[in-house]
Amino acid sequence: MVISTNTDLSFSPLGDRALLVEVGDHADPETVARIRELADHLARLDLPGVLDFVPALCTIGVHYDPEQWRDESKVRTPYERLVARIQEALPDLESLGVSEGPLREIPVCYEAEFGEDLTALANAHELSIEQVIQIHSGAVYTVYMIGFAPGFAYLGPLDERLALPRRETPRARVPAGSVAVANQYTGIYPADLPGGWHIIGRTPLQLFDSSHDRPSLLSAGDRVQFVPIGAAEFRDLRTGQ
C-alpha cells in the first residue's frame, strides 16, 4: 500500500520490517539536503521500535520492529500505524534548514595510466582531454549518498558534457581510488571492486578504512572539488599515507 501525503512525501512498505519515505523523484543538492534534515528530524523523535533511518538519493529507509506497532484491534497494520505517527510529526519541508556541508578537496591524477577511459570519454563528447579535466575539476559536487560499497560516494550533479551511460561490459576489477563517471554522477571507488563506470583518473587518498572511528572519508552532504595532480605527486601522497 502506497500512502501519499499533502506534501511532496509518499510512503510505501519495504517488506514487513521497513518502510520507504519518498521525497520527490529527482536527486539534486537541495533535495539531498532536505532528506538529511528530515532524517535527522525523524531520528530526534525517538519513535519506539524504530531501529534506523537510512537517507538515500530521494528516499529515507525506516527500519522498525513491527511488534512495537501492533494494533490489538487489528484495525491497522504496524506499517499503517507507524506511517500515521510519522505523518503527525512531519514538519513543513520548506521550513527545514538546508545547510552546506564541509568542502573537501580530493587530489586526482588524470594521466593516462590512471584514467583509462579518459580519451574515449573526450572523443565521445568531441572534447579535448584538457577540457574534460577542466570541466570535471572545475565543479563543486555534493555527496548525494554513500552506497553500492562502504565508502562509495555518489557525487553530483555531473556536467552533462561529461555524462555517459554505464559501460555495456563492467570491469571485473576497478582499482581503489579510481575516479569515474556514469550517467549524471561521478564517484570514487573506495576499494578494488567490479564496476561499470568510466574511469577518468585516480586519487591517492584512502576513501574507506574500517579501523577508523569515521571509516568513510566522505559523508552524505559533504561538498567535493577535485584537484588535478601529476603522477609524481600522486605517488608521493600515496607513499605518505
- pLDDT value of residue 100: 77
Q: What percent of the chain has pLDDT over 90?
A: 66
β-pair type (103-109, 223-229): parallel
- With cut-offs at 50, 70 and 90, classify the pLDDT of residue 13: very high
C-alpha cell at 26: 529527482
Distance (Å, whole) CA 54 – CA 39: 8
Comparing 137 with 44, which gets the higher pLDDT?
137
Total number of residues shown for the chain: 241
pLDDT at 93: 59
For each of the domains in the chain, give its residue range(s) and CATH number, in order of start. Answer: 3-95 (3.30.1360.40), 103-240 (2.40.100.10)
Query: What number is the average pLDDT over the span 61-88?
Result: 90
Burial class of residue 71, CB neighbours in 10 A (0-12, 13-18, 19+): exposed
Cα–Cα distances in Å, from 57 out to 33, 113, 140? Answer: 10, 32, 18
Taking the C-alpha atoms of residue 201 and residue 147, their distance in angstroms, rounded to an integer, is: 20
Average pLDDT, whole number, for the chain?
A: 90
The C-alpha atoms of residue 58 and residue 203 are separated, in whole angstroms, by 28
DSSP per residue, 120-159: HHHHHTT--HHHHHHHHHTS-EEEEEE-SSTT-EEEEPPP
C-alpha cell at 19: 518502510
**Mean pLDDT calculated for residue range 105-122:** 97
pLDDT, residue 4, reads: 47
* Helix axes of 78-89 and 29-44: crossing angle, nearest 10 degrees: 110
Alpha carbons 100 and 185: distance in angstroms, whole number:
19
pLDDT at 21 over 60: yes
pLDDT-based confidence at residue 95 (cuts at 50, 70, 90) = low
Q: Specify burial of residue 97 (Cβ count, 10 A radius: 0-12, 13-18, 19+).
A: exposed
